[in-house]
C-alpha cells in the first residue's frame, strides 16, 4: 500500500510539472562552431587574454621612461653682483686711497655658478658637463668701459670601481627588460589556459547536447511503455498499478530532461563567456558543435612530458626570469661594496677682450686653452647599508631558487597525476561502452519477456533507467577522457604546439 501511495504522489508531481513544459518554445537561433573556430574566437575576443596583453605595453612604456635618465638637461642662469673694496693706504698719511667698485654680470654657466650648459650621463656611467659663460665687468677699475671674458669647458667623470660596470640606471633598465619578458610569458600562459578552458568547455557542451538526446530517448521509451501499458490495462491484461508506475516513470524522465536542458544552457553560457567580449551579442544564440566524441588512444611518455614542461611551461620560465632579475640586483649591490674611484678630466678655452667679440675670439682661436685630469677617491668607513643590501639580495636569491625547485616538483606531480587520470579515463570509455551495450541487450530481452507476459513493467522500467544511466555515463567518460588530454597538454605547456596554434604575444 505504501508503495502505491509513493507512485501516486510521483504521478501528481508530474502533472504539476506539465505547465513548465508548455512554456513558449525556445526561439533561439543556432550557431554551429567547430573546436578550431571556438579557439580562434577566444584568441581574438577573450577578455582575460586582452587584459594580459596590456601589461607588456605598459612595461615597454616603463622602459622608455627608464632610458630617459640618459636625456641631457639644459641649464641657463644669470647673475648680477656688485663689489667695493677700500683703496690702498697712503704711506705718507693715515688716509686710504680711493676705493674701487666692480659690477659683474654673468651669463651662462660655470662651476658653482648659474649659467648655461648641457649635463647628462652616458650608458657607460660617465657623466659630462658642457659649460659656457660670458662675464661682463665694469667699474672704477675699468677705465675703458667694459671688460668681457668668456669660457667654454667640457668636464667628464668616469667611475672606475663603484657604479662602473652597473649603476642604478642600468640596473633599472635591465630589470624593466626582464619585466617585459615576464609579462609576455604571462600573456602566453593565459593563452594556454584559455585555449584549455575552451577545449574543456567544448567537450562539456558536446556532453550536454548528447545528454539531452539521451534524456529525450529515455522519455520516449517511458512514453512508449506507458502507451502499451494503457492498452493492456484496458483489455485487463495488466493491473492499474502498472499504468501508474509507467506514468511515474514518464514524469521522472521529463524532470531529467528539464535538468539536462538547463545544464546545456549553463554550459553554452560558459563557452560563450570564453569566446566573446560582448556577451549581449550572443544572447539568444544556441551553440551547436561539430563532430563526435571519440576515444583516440594516446601513447603516454612520462619522461617526455617532464622534458616538455621544464622547457615550455611559461609559468616556470617566469620563475626563472625572476631568478635572473635577482642576479641583476645582486650584481648591482655587489658593485656598491667598492670604493668610489672616479677619473675626471676637463678641457676648455678662455677669452678676454674689451668687446663681446673679443671675448669670444679667444675661445674660437684657442689662444688660452686649459685642461685638468685627476682621480677622486671616496672610501666609506663601514659601508653598512651596501653590505646589508648585498647579503639580503643573496639570501633572496636562495629563497627564489628553492621556490623554483618546489615549483618544478609540483609540476612533475601535476603531470604524473594528469597522465594517470588520462589513462584511467581512457579505460573508462571502454568499460562504459560495454556497460551501455549490456544495458541495451538486457532491456531488449526484458521487453520481449514483457510482451510474452513473462516479466513486469517494474522490471522494464528499472532496466530503462539503467540504460539511460549507462548511455549518459558513456558520453561522460568520452568527454572526460578528451578533457584530460587537454589538461595534460596544459600541464606540459604543449597546448599550442599540439593544436598547431600560432599566437602573437605582443599587441
How many other C-beta atoms lie within 10 A of the C-beta of residue 385? 11
Query: What fold does the segment set 2-16+29-65+171-327+394-498 form as a domain?
Result: Outer membrane efflux proteins (OEP) (1.20.1600)
**Greater confidence, 380 or 109?**
380
Q: Give the contacts of 196 (CB within 8 A, at least 6 positions apart).
A: 486, 487, 489, 490, 495
pLDDT, one tens digit per residue, over 220-245 is 999 988 888 888 888 877 788 878 88
Q: pLDDT tens for residues 307-320?
A: 999 999 999 999 99
Instruction: Flag whether pLDDT at 392 surpasses 70.
Output: yes
Q: What is the pLDDT of residue 11?
A: 42
pLDDT at 6: 42
Which range, 121-130, 369-378, 408-417, is most confident? 408-417
- What φ, ψ does residue 499 adopt, rounded to 5°? -95, 10
Render the burial of 90-121: b for 16+ CB within 10 Å, e for the rest. Answer: eeeeeeeeeeeebbeebbbbbeeeebbbeeeb
Average of per-residue pLDDT across 294-321: 95
- Identify the pLDDT of residue 60: 95
Smallest Cα–Cα separation from 423: which of 294, 296, 292, 300? 300
The residue with cell 498499478 is: 241
Count the helix, strand and coil residues of the chain and give each as a percent rounded to the nearest 5: 60, 20, 20
For 238-273, give the DSSP string.
S-HHHHHHHHHHHHHHHHHHHHHHHHHHHHHHHHHH
Q: What does the alpha-carbon distance between residue 317 and residue 339 come to, in Å, rounded to a whole number?
A: 36
Cα-atom radius of gyration of the chain, to the nearest Å?
Answer: 43
- Arithmetic mean of pLDDT, 60-75: 92
Buried b / exposed e over 418-453, threshold 16 CB at 10 Å, is: bbebbeebbebbeebbebbeebeebbeebbeebeee
Beta carbons within 8 Å of 255's beta carbon, 6+ residues apart? 14, 17
Question: Do residues 164 and 152 make contact, with C-beta atoms less than 8 angstroms apart?
Answer: no
Handedness of CA 472, 475, 481, 486 (dihedral sign): negative
User: What's the pTM value of the predicted model, to 2 decimals?
Assistant: 0.84
Please identify which residue in the block is written with the cell numbers 677669452: 351
pLDDT top residue among 80 and 125:
125
Question: Which triple of cell numbers denotes residue 337?
Answer: 661594496
Q: What residues does each domain of the chain span?
A: 2-16+29-65+171-327+394-498, 77-114+126-162+340-378
Among 6-20, 70-84, 188-202, 214-228, the minimum mean pLDDT is found in 6-20
With a cut of 70, say whether residue 393 has pLDDT above it: yes
The residue ranking higher by pLDDT, 318 or 86, is 318
Q: Distance between CA 114 and CA 406 in Å, rounded?
A: 59
Give Cα 102 to chain centroid, integer Å.
68
Q: In this predicted structure, what is the pLDDT of residue 18?
A: 43
Pairwise pLDDT comparison (107 vs 156), residue with the higher score: 156
Amino acid at each position: 500500500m505504501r508503495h502505491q501511495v509513493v507512485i501516486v504522489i510521483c504521478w501528481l508531481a508530474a502533472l504539476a510539472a506539465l505547465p513548465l513544459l508548455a512554456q513558449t518554445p525556445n526561439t533561439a537561433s543556432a550557431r554551429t562552431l567547430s573546436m578550431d573556430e571556438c579557439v580562434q574566437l577566444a584568441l581574438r575576443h577573450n577578455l582575460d587574454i586582452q587584459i594580459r596583453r596590456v601589461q607588456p605595453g605598459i612595461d615597454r612604456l616603463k622602459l622608455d621612461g627608464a632610458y630617459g635618465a640618459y636625456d641631457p638637461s639644459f641649464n641657463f642662469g644669470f647673475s648680477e653682483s656688485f663689489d667695493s673694496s677700500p683703496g690702498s693706504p697712503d704711506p705718507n698719511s693715515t688716509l686710504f686711497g680711493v676705493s674701487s667698485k666692480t659690477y659683474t654680470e654673468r651669463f651662462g654657466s660655470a662651476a658653482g655658478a648659474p649659467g648655461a650648459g648641457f649635463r647628462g650621463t652616458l650608458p657607460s656611467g660617465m657623466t659630462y658637463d658642457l659649460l659656457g659663460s660670458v662675464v661682463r665687468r665694469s667699474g672704477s677699475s675699468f677705465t675703458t668701459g667694459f671688460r668681457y671674458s668668456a669660457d667654454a669647458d667640457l668636464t667628464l667623470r668616469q667611475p672606475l670601481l663603484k657604479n662602473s660596470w652597473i649603476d642604478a640606471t642600468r640596473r633599472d633598465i635591465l630589470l624593466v627588460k626582464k619585466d617585459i619578458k615576464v609579462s609576455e610569458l604571462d600573456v602566453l600562459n593565459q593563452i594556454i589556459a584559455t585555449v584549455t578552458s575552451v577545449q574543456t568547455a567544448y567537450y562539456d557542451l558536446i556532453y550536454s547536447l548528447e545528454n539531452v538526446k539521451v534524456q529525450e530517448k529515455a522519455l520516449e521509451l517511458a512514453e512508449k511503455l506507458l502507451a502499451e501499458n494503457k492498452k493492456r490495462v484496458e483489455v485487463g491484461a495488466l493491473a492499474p498499478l502498472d499504468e501508474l508506475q509507467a506514468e511515474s516513470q514518464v514524469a521522472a524522465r521529463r524532470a531529467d530532461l528539464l535538468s539536462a536542458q538547463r545544464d546545456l544552457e549553463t554550459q553554452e553560457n560558459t563557452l560563450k563567456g570564453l569566446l566573446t567580449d560582448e556577451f549581449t551579442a550572443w544572447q539568444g544564440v544556441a551553440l551547436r558543435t561539430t563532430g563526435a566524441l571519440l576515444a583516440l588512444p594516446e601513447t603516454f611518455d612520462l619522461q617526455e612530458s617532464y622534458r616538455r614542461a621544464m622547457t615550455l611551461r611559461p609559468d616556470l620560465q617566469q620563475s626563472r626570469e625572476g631568478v635572473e632579475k635577482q642576479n641583476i640586483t645582486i650584481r648591482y649591490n655587489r658593485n656598491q661594496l667598492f670604493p668610489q674611484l672616479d677619473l675626471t678630466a676637463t678641457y676648455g678655452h678662455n677669452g678676454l677682450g674689451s668687446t663681446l667679440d673679443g671675448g669670444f675670439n679667444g675661445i674660437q682661436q684657442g689662444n688660452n686653452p686649459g685642461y685638468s685630469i685627476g682621480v677622486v677617491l671616496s672610501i666609506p668607513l663601514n659601508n653598512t647599508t651596501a653590505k646589508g643590501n648585498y647579503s639580503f639580495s643573496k639570501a633572496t636569491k636562495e629563497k627564489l631558487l628553492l621556490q623554483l625547485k618546489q615549483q618544478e616538483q609540483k609540476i612533475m606531480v601535476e603531470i604524473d597525476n594528469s597522465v594517470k587520470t588520462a589513462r584511467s579515463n581512457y579505460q573508462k570509455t571502454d568499460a562504459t561502452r560495454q556497460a551501455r551495450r549490456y544495458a541495451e541487450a538486457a532491456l531488449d530481452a526484458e521487453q520481449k519477456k514483457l510482451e510474452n507476459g513473462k516479466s513486469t513493467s517494474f522490471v522494464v522500467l528499472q532496466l530503462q533507467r539503467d540504460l539511460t544511466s549507462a548511455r549518459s555515463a558513456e558520453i561522460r567518460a568520452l568527454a572526460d577522457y578528451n578533457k584530460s588530454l587537454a589538461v595534460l597538454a596544459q600541464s606540459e605547456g604543449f597546448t599550442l604546439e599540439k593544436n598547431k596554434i600560432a599566437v602573437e604575444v605582443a599587441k
